[in-house]
Structure 1
Amino acid sequence: MSHQISVCYGEPTDPTAFDEYYRTIHIPLTTRVPGLAGFTWGKCASLDGSTPAYYAVAHLLFSSEEDLLQALDSPQMREAGRDVRNFATGGVTMYTQKLEPTTP
């Protein structure tokens, strides 16, 4: 069963600066986390045209709960976590999930 960390970023005070920092500094830090099986991120848009609850959301995927727990305890994850305060001026919400497989 795979697990993931979701990181939800609020609207930054300077979206251009956020995007540049995120792409050039933060993503390289994050992709060094041990046990990381996948990483995606994207900017949010609401279906009804209103302002979405989050500016962007990132997902860090791990193959097992053990991999997730080891990653959370790693120096690389601590470094990436400390880095968030350098660019996430709109706040951030983070949580983990145990992903349940479904069939369409």
Structure 2
Amino acid sequence: MTEQHRKYWPADRPDLVRGVVVAAAGASPSSATRGTTLSNHDHSLDQRNLMYTLMVLYGQPTNPHAFRTYYQDTHLPLARKLPGVRAIRYTVDVAAAEGAAPYGAIFEADFDSAEAMSAALTSPEGAAAQADVPNFATGEVWILHFEPTAT
């Protein structure tokens, strides 16, 4: 993927949907709750330890309850196996400042570098997580990745 921002249609191009992971290794399904941060390390991320971030925006699903259940009970266990993830944040409760939210879920994962993210996404674990996306994502899926800037 050469562009940093792309819009993906999982039903039309499942081969393009990448990095849809939502939990770190060793986390239990019960810790996979809305707005949760999961980490593979004992230390928390801070401004001195910036990384490379993958963000996934899920459009509103046709059945929010089914999406949430599958996402947490089936997709999260696959995602926990993704190598090299430093920390993960996600929510399935998205609100807009005005009107209906365009997204049903938001996901972020931190990696040491763009190369580490790419290696994780092309690993067998990454392929398994990606192949699972059409099983629950009935809305559009947007993938973004970037190096965060501290202020």
Is TM more than 0.5 here?
yes
Which segments of structure 1 move beyond 3 Å, counting only runs of 4 or more? none
Paired residue total: 101
Identity between Structure 1 and Structure 2 (%):
35
CA offset digits 1:26-46 (Å, max 9, x no partner): 111112110001111112101
The normalised TM-score by structure 2 is: 0.63
CA offset digits 1:42-70 (Å, max 9, x no partner): 1210112x011211111111122232121
Q: Which residue of 1 aligns with 2:88?
A: 39
Runs of 5+ consecutive residues of structure 2 not aligned to the other structure? 1-49
Flag the structure with more relative contact order, 1 or 2, with Cα contacts below 8 A and sequence separation at least 6.
Answer: 1
Aligned residue identity for 1:91: E
Secondary structure of 2:82's match?
A: coil
- Select the structure that is richer in strand: 1
Separation in 1, partners of 2:150, 2:80? 24
Runs of 5+ consecutive residues of structure 1 not aligned to the other structure? none
Root-mean-square deviation (CA, aligned residues, Å) is 1.2
Q: Which residue of 2 aligns with 1:89?
A: 138
Write the mapping of 1:53-68 to structure 2, written as runs, cut at 5 A: 53-68=102-117
The normalised TM-score by structure 1 is: 0.89
Match of residue 77, structure 2, among 1, 21, 28: 28
